[in-house]
Every structure is written in C-alpha cells, then in structure tokens.
Structure 1
Amino acid sequence: MSAGIASTTQLWFTAPKQIELRKVSLPAPTANQVLVKTLYSAISAGTELLAYRGQLPADMALDSTLESLQQHASYPMQYGYACVGEIVNVGSGLDADWIGRQVFSFQPHASHFLTDTQNLQLVPDDISARAAAFLPNTETAVNLVHDGAPVMGERVVVLGQGVVGLLLTALLAKHPLAELIVVEGRAERQALAKQLGAHRVVHPDEAAAQISDADLIYEVSGQPAALDTAVAVSGYSSRIVIGSWYGNKEASINLGGAAHRNRLQLITSQVSTVAPALTGRWDKQRRFELAWQMIRECDPQRLISHVEPIQDAGSVYQQLDEEKLSVVQALFEYPDS
C-alpha cells in the first residue's frame, strides 16, 4: 500500500478574475476513502468562466447534487468537476486492489484529492485518461438528447458549438433526421461540427434568415441573446431546449408576435437529474454507461485544443476570458509530485 502524500496543490478562485494555487495538507484516508493523484482535469468554458468572472448567483450552491460543490458561489471557492486520476492509497476498510485503478470523479481542480469510493466512476480499460475527462460533457449531451426527444425526420438546430454543443451534434447525427443544422460563428468549430455530422453550418448573423420552421432547437451557446434566435427559427409547437446556464446574466426573450401564437415549448435541461419521463427505467448509472459508450463512438479527444500544466492556470483563464485562445477543450495536466 502506498504511503500517500503530505499535501495537494489546489486551484482556488479568490475574486473576479483572480486565482491562486494553494498547497494544502491532506490527512490519511479514512476507512472507506481513497487518495487519487490527478492526471488531467477539464476546464469548463461555460460555467467555470462564470465562476472566474464572478457571474454565478451567490444564493445557490455550485451544484445541488455533487458532494464536492455544495458550497455557495462566494469567494474564495474551488471549482471544477472533471478530474481523471489514479488511486495511490486507500483506507483501512478497502482492498488494496483499488490501488492503481484509473478513475473519474466530479472534483475541483487539484493535484490530489480524497474521496469515498461512491464518488468515483471506474474508467473502462479501453478509454484513455484524456478521453475520460469528457464524461461530464458527454453525459450532458446524452441528457439533452433525452430531454429534446428528437423524432425521425425532424429538422433540428443546435445553437452553439462549444464542447457540449459539439458532442450534442455528434449524438444527434446518429439519428435519422431530415436535417441537422448548427449555428456557430467560429471557423474551427464550424469545421468540427461538419466532421461530427452536421448537415449545414450557419453563422449566427444569418440564422434567422436561413433557418425556419425547425422542429427542435437546442440553445447551448451560453449567450442569452441566442434565445431570440431560437424563437426566430422555430415553427408551430416547436420545442426549444435550453441547455445553457447564464448564471446572473439576464436572459431576456421576445415572446411577442408569432412566438406567442406558435405555442412554443421551452424546456430547461440540466444534467444533475434524469428526465422525469424516464425515471421509471433510467438512473444516473445507466446514463453514465451510455455516456461511456458514446465516448467510445464519438472520439472526443479530437476536441482537445490545449493541454496546459496546472501551474499555468492563471494565464489560461485570462486568455479564455479575453478569447485570445482558439480553444475548444482545454485540459490541465499535473506533473509528478
């Protein structure tokens, strides 16, 4: 059994657009805990940038279902929810066979962490550590498909091609749709959308003129103004699935005119729960198993644009905030310590 370590390097958000790397002492694992050395953690360019910018609602827990994110959004705070690592020590109540296993856990960015085994997902042997970092976003994409329930022959529009939008496009491309249209302004993401199976790519400035009577629209751009685009491209009784979380940014939407008469269905979608209509047969573990299978089939590693050491986190966040990096998915990596 490994002797473990004395400390971990944790990333903390200390004020809007300010971060710190802190060395924190770790106790020995309790009976049913494991010590995990992180290999990679994925940066969320959506919710995580809201945390960096100070745009999260202060009266809400960071996540209502994840043990590691129960605190409210007030500084100083940790954030992050996609750590892939290797178990290096176990508590007295666990078999030593756990040591060496590769695992995923919803944890803030840190070089090492302690957690109960119930908070782990074993990474399948045929999935790499970098690919495993996509588990949360792939599960989110699966949940969006479940909430939208695309029907054979429908015209489906995806607004936004960040990582979730791209993964959603890949999953929707598996359906026999009449047309799968993505709305995205960045050239590198337009190209990726086409590789993943989009039939047509439209610039946001041209969406209202080029798209009409869509049956199902997904808003995953993170931009509140995109809600009006969703309404503009919809038809009678269209379904608009809102997968973005805007934090404390105001999300106004024009529901006058045709939008009112069209009996639009606005569906808010969030991955922390399973769609109510499916709970008789689906639970989180079944959805995780499907997400692992979609990772195998969609090869999300092609979306990794940057892999940076955790020591460079301040520069990475600054460049993400200022949109100086042409980033799709950025990962932190953790050198041996």
Structure 2
Amino acid sequence: MLNLPAHPYALTMDAPKTIGVMDDPQPELGPQDVRIRTLYSGISAGTEMAAYRGTSPFLDRKWNPDTRLFEAGAASLSYPMVAAGYEEVGEIEKVGADVTGLKPGDIIWGSWQHRSHYTASAAWALARKLPDGLDPVTGIYSHIGAIALNAVLDARLNLGETVVIFGLGVPGLIAVQMAVASGADVIAVDPVPSRRERALRYGAVQGLDSGEPDLAHRIRSLTGGRGADCAIEISGHYKALQMAIRSVAYNSRVVVSGFFQGDGIGLALGEEFHHNRIQLICSQISGQAANLQHRWDRARLNGTVFDLARRGKIDLPDLVTDRYPVAQADEAFARIDSNPGDILQTVLDFGGQNDA
C-alpha cells in the first residue's frame, strides 16, 4: 500500500519491481491552459512492465532519436524515474481565463504517466476530448488501441482472407475485434483458454492453443492447405514469431507488433522464413507504413479507435479485468508481474482526490 499525499503526485519506479510516490507540483495555470484530474490510468503489460522488470533496452543503452540507433553511452532510462504509464484519462478540473470550447467536467484522454493531475494547453486537450457517450475508462485505450489498429493496417487485410493473431493480451484482443470488423477470418492463438474464448466471442472463427503440437499444420488444414494469408505477432515472444512464420502461406507476410526483449531464442530464419519467402513487417507506433503516411497519422489512429468504440465495432471497457485504487498500485504491478492468465487490462482508479 502506498502512502499518497493530499497534493498532486506521480507514481515512480524507484528500482526494478519497486513502485513509489513523488510530489508532482503543478505549474501555475495560464490563460490558455487546463488542469486535468486523473480518473483512470491503465498499466501496459508490455512496454511498461519491461521498465518495471528492468528488461527494457532503454535501461541498458542510449537511444539516439537523430540516428534512430541504440548507441554506447548513458542509458536513456535509469532508476528512479516517473512510472512509464501511457494510458490515462481524466476530467478537466480548472480552465484558464481565456479558454474556449472546454469546461470543467470534460473528459480528456492522453499519455501523462501515472500522475494525479496534469496541466496542458487547451489546444492539446481539445484535440483529445473523449467523444460523448463513451464510458470514461475507454479513454485509457488511446495508445494501446492505436498500436492494435496500426498492426491491422500493416496487415493489409482483404475481405475473405485469413489472419492468424498470436497473443491475446489487450492489444491482441483489440486487433481481433478490428480484424473481424474488416471482414477477415481470424484465427486467434494463445495458451490461455479464457483468452481464446473471449476472442471467439469477439468474432474469431477459431481459437487455438499455442502449445498445440504441430500448430502450423493445423492452421494449414483450416485454410485449404495454403496457410494463413497473414499473421500478426503481438505477444513479443520469439517462439510465437517463429510459429507465425510457419503458419502463413508462401510469399505471405507476418506483421511483427510485439515488443521483444533479449536475444531471439527460438527464431530459426533459415527455415520457413527463407524457403517460403516470408515478408516480416515491423509495426511500431512511432510511424505508419509508407503507403499510408499521406493519409494516416497518430491523430487519425487515435480518433479511429474511439470512433470504432462509439459505433459499437469494438468493445474496449470489456477488456478491463482488474481495478485497483491507486494506493494499491504496487500490488497491481506485482500481480501483473506474476503473469496470471486471467489478467487483461489493469486499471488504477484515482477517484476521490483533492483539488490541485
């Protein structure tokens, strides 16, 4: 249990697997600023947990944004640091004297780490106003939903094609819903039965156990002997990537969306990848495919996620399986780290805070 102050604060990662709290005083509210009180903050089971566990490459090496290379030098991240949350939603608490188009109580989504309050420009907040009628918790999915949508766009799915999605965590299950909405037949693969059952409920035509012997032959038998038209690997496990490569048809593509760490144990690029001319496509949220960049940007990705939710094409609140008061954030992180299969989206509830 964390000892939370009455004034604005932020959660910290003080060392691997150690969550703390720091004071986070807010700047004076300018005439064109708004102050947001956090309602909910989601914990990412991929990128954020890599920082929590100490396995993120940013903790070992320096990322140079100019050369876009990991280089020798001081690491980009080090402990202690503000916890690396990027799934936040809050309500406007105060507005500056000259703000128009926003008012206290408006719901704003964004990425401001696990902070109790956040001060931003009104223009920034206006671009991130949650559409009316959506459950406020939907707002935590701006980033993770965009990751899933980016992967589906990279897959270039066509009506009547079969896509295999490896990994049925939160981004994988969002991708399942989006791929179904696109008209593709989805085969969903994961070791956890409850996740496969959920994928079937979302419209997947098959739910397969990733531990099933000879999974690639099973997928070929389900696709007339061809193999899948495309696979999306979104678990971040090298063995799953190898199986995705084995599961697709000759001259097909595998979208690689998982956040891998360490060496590629289990990946055999001299086998099906080489002999079947498989195309590996990196899908990463910092950009879009070259053929889409003139029409798609991050703002459109985010907006599309919430529009799909508003129109009932995807169900995002349904993915929330665990809610914790923010004072129990240390317990929430520890439970995710223990890797129980029944967890999908964990949400920290910031309710009942004092005004800033």
In the aligned structure 2, how far is the partner of 1:325 from the partner of 1:145? 24
Query: What aligned pairs does 1:1-337 form with structure 2 within 5 A after superposition?
Result: 7-58=7-58, 59-60=61-62, 72-78=76-82, 79-95=84-100, 97-120=102-125, 121-177=128-184, 179-206=185-212, 207-212=215-220, 213-246=227-260, 248-252=261-265, 253-296=267-310, 297=312, 298-324=314-340, 326-337=342-353
Report the 3-state secondary structure (helix = DSSP H, G, I; strand = E; otherwise coil) of the residue aligned with 2:329.
Answer: helix
User: How far has the Cα of 1:153 moved from its partner?
Assistant: 2.2
User: How far has the Cα of 1:335 moved from its partner?
Assistant: 2.5
Q: Which amino acid aligns with 2:122?
A: T
User: How far has the Cα of 1:142 moved from its partner?
Assistant: 1.5
Indicate the RMSD between aligned Cα atoms, in angstroms: 2.3
Mark the CA change 1:291 to 1:75 in structure 2 (over 3 Å): closer, same or farther: same
Report the 3-state secondary structure (helix = DSSP H, G, I; strand = E; otherwise coil) of the residue aligned with 2:259.
Answer: coil
In the aligned structure 2, how far is the partner of 1:22 from the partner of 1:63? 28
Q: Which amino acid aligns with 1:98?
A: K
Q: Which amino acid aligns with 1:263?
A: R
Report the 3-state secondary structure (helix = DSSP H, G, I; strand = E; otherwise coil) of the residue aligned with 1:74.
Answer: coil
- TM-score of the pair, normalised by structure 2: 0.85
* 8 Å Cα contact 1:80/1:106 also seen in 2: yes
In the aligned structure 2, how far is the partner of 1:63 from the partner of 1:34? 30
1:236-267 deviation per Cα after TM superposition (whole angstroms, max 9, x unaligned): 11100000112x42234211133212111000
Unaligned runs of 5+ in 2: 67-74, 221-226
Mark the CA change 1:87 to 1:163 in structure 2 (over 3 Å): closer, same or farther: same
Report the 3-state secondary structure (helix = DSSP H, G, I; strand = E; otherwise coil) of the residue aligned with 2:132.
Answer: coil
User: How far has the Cα of 1:93 moved from its partner?
Assistant: 4.3
Mark the CA change 1:325 to 1:203 in structure 2 (over 3 Å): closer, same or farther: closer
State percent identity of aligned pairs. 30
Q: Which amino acid aligns with 2:323?
A: V
Which region of structure 1 is more displaced relative to structure 2, 76-85 or 135-144?
135-144
* 8 Å Cα contact 1:62/1:73 also seen in 2: no
Mark the CA change 1:81 to 1:238 in structure 2 (over 3 Å): closer, same or farther: same
Q: Which amino acid aligns with 2:338?
A: E
State the match for 1:68 in structure 2: none
Report the 3-state secondary structure (helix = DSSP H, G, I; strand = E; otherwise coil) of the residue aligned with 1:174.
Answer: helix
Mark the CA change 1:202 to 1:144 in structure 2 (over 3 Å): closer, same or farther: same
In the aligned structure 2, how far is the partner of 1:62 from the partner of 1:299? 37
Q: Which amino acid aligns with 1:153?
A: G
Report the 3-state secondary structure (helix = DSSP H, G, I; strand = E; otherwise coil) of the residue aligned with 1:277.
Answer: coil
User: How far has the Cα of 1:60 moved from its partner?
Assistant: 5.0
Query: Number of residues paired by the alignment?
Result: 325
* 8 Å Cα contact 2:135/2:317 also seen in 1: no
* 8 Å Cα contact 2:180/2:204 also seen in 1: yes
* 8 Å Cα contact 2:35/2:119 also seen in 1: yes
1:46-104 deviation per Cα after TM superposition (whole angstroms, max 9, x unaligned): 1111010011113356999xxxxxx9322112211111111112334424843321101
State the match for 1:67 in structure 2: none
Q: Which amino acid aligns with 2:286?
A: S
In the aligned structure 2, how far is the partner of 1:324 from the partner of 1:51? 19
